[in-house]
Amino acid sequence: MTELIKPKMMNYHRQILVCVGDRCTQNGEGQALYDALKEKFEKAGLNKGDLRVKKTRATCFGSCKSGPLLCIQPDGIWYYDITADKLDRIIDEHLLNNQPVMEWVFHQR
């Protein structure tokens, strides 16, 4: 019998979840945003250190309107209709300066 290995998680300040499901966007816009995160996080310094952000793909948030959708945890902020330019602003204002971009928030806990 194979022994289970306990997973390890690196330290993260926040986690961003991007819906890549085809019910959210049918043309791959969510996946394109997710794919852009690596470069954007490196440029903003969010790929390491105290502000490190974990990026995660999700296939459905259960809110299948006006995607692409993003969720920032543990802040409990949910964004809708996100484009590459809007993502840049979310990175700058929310992830770097702790100010959610309220005009694109559709839910918060």
Establish if 86 belongs to a structural domain: yes
Establish if 6 belongs to a structural domain: no
5 confidence band (pLDDT: 50, 70, 90)? very high
Establish if 4 belongs to a structural domain: no
Q: What is the pLDDT of residues 24-81, one digit of tens each?
A: 787 889 999 999 999 999 999 999 999 999 999 998 888 877 889 999 999 999 999 9
Residue with tokens 């690196």: 10
Provide the domain limits for residue 81: 14-98
Establish if 26 belongs to a structural domain: yes
The verdict on whether omega for the bond into residue 7 sits within 30 degrees of 0, i.e. cis, is: no
pLDDT at 44: 96
pTM for the model stands at 0.89
How many folded domains does the chain comprise? 1
Compute, in degrees rounded to 10, the torsion defined by CA atoms 88, 90, 93, 95. Answer: -110
Give the separation between CA 7 and CA 50, rounded to whole angstroms.
Answer: 21
Establish if 32 belongs to a structural domain: yes
CATH number at residue 28: 3.40.30.10
The verdict on whether omega for the bond into residue 68 sits within 30 degrees of 0, i.e. cis, is: yes
pLDDT at 84: 92
